[in-house]
Amino acid sequence: MLCKKCLPDSYGVFLRRHIRMIAGQLALYAFLGSIALIWWFFMRGDQMNVAAMQGILVIAVMGAALAGVVGVPVCTVMLLLDYRRLHALQQSGTVPIGRLDKSFVGEGQRVIEALKPHKPNKGEKVFGTFQLPLQKKRDGQVMTLDEESQQRQGFGTREIVAVGKTLDELEKALPATWKSLWVSLESGVKNDRNT
Q: Write the pLDDT tens digit of every residue in 59-105.
A: 777 888 888 888 889 999 999 999 999 999 999 988 888 888 888 88
Q: Say how far apart CA 159 and CA 129 lie, in whole Å.
A: 17
Residue at 6 is within a domain? yes
- The list of the chain residues with pLDDT below 70 reads 1, 42-54, 117-124, 127-129, 131-141, 143-157, 185-195
Is residue 157 left, alpha or beta, with left meaning phi > 0 and alpha meaning psi from -120 to 50? beta
Instruction: Give the number of C-alpha atoms closer than 13 A to the C-alpha of residue 120, restricted to the C-beta side.
Output: 1
Residue at 65 is within a domain? yes
Q: Which amino acid is at 23?
A: A
Structural domain count, the chain = 1
- Are 15 and 82 in contact by the 8 Å Cβ rule? The answer is yes
Residue at 5 is within a domain? yes
pLDDT of residue 4: 74
Residue at 146 is within a domain? no
Residue 75: domain span: 1-115
Residue at 57 is within a domain? yes
pLDDT of residue 47: 54
Residue at 87 is within a domain? yes
Residue at 152 is within a domain? no
pLDDT of residue 152: 57
Residue at 45 is within a domain? yes
